[in-house]
Amino acid sequence: MSDFIFADDYRLDEGSTRSFYEVFLKGLVHKHNNLMGVIQGFSSLILYDEGISREVRDSAQQMQDSARMASDLNREVLESSGCSRCEMGVVNLSDVQAYWEGKAKEICDAVGVPLHFTSRDCLVPVAADSGKLSGIFSYLIQNAAEAASEVSGGSVAVDIFPPGEASPGNQVDLFIRNSSVEQTPEKVAKAFEPFHTTKGSEHFGLGLTSAAVLAGQMNLRLGLRYADSTMTAWLSLPPAG
């Protein structure tokens, strides 16, 4: 597994100034959301007027859509900056597998790529925040599906292995593989960088950053590897106490 590029640099330090930056970012996002709420409110009032011209309606709709996107961006900024607290507990993967498979199918169907989902028996409970773990899974699947959709005949595959089957040790291993255009090691390493995206301005470029930060907060290990036209995300999950 040495050829994986891991997101270990995204494990946030517990320094003396961290609480200041958390408060600062949360306050900034709150103030920004207030402004976006005003914009959404006024644009809604404009759109209620049936007598406005097509040009004014299109402009008001664009204003409203942009305000909603800004609110979505604020939520992802908080998560990718480590301001989203993780409540660690015991997660039985058998309890979340049906949801994960359904979510993965929904995402893959939306971009028209097939999904292959396989989970082995004898999975042990893992230590994580259940909601945040599902969030990581969704970020990884979204990235995989969009990348696979850029390749003719592209597909996505999910495999979950019990301890000792895919790698040494007592951790559960989650692999998400997708068809991919060619990637250099330098490009793979940049995938975790905040606001880095190759998918256009409609993407924030924070999905893999959020996945990396959340993984670090829960003491999981997240890595990426490109080989033979396939990108693989590997999430190593420690067993519960």
User: Distance between CA atoms of 108 and 103, rounded to whole angstroms?
Assistant: 9
**Per-residue model confidence (pLDDT) at position 130:** 96
User: Distance between CA atoms of 89 and 211, rounded to whole angstroms?
Assistant: 18
Torsion of CA 183, 195, 97, 237, to 10 degrees: 80
**Per-residue model confidence (pLDDT) at position 201:** 61
**Per-residue model confidence (pLDDT) at position 16:** 84
**Per-residue model confidence (pLDDT) at position 202:** 65
Per-10-residue mean pLDDT of the chain, 241 residues long, equals 86 86 91 92 92 92 91 89 91 94 98 96 94 97 96 97 94 97 90 81 83 95 96 97 79
**Per-residue model confidence (pLDDT) at position 23:** 92
At 59, is the secondary structure helix, strand, or coil? Answer: helix
**Per-residue model confidence (pLDDT) at position 121:** 86
> Rounded to two decimals, what is the model's pTM?
0.87
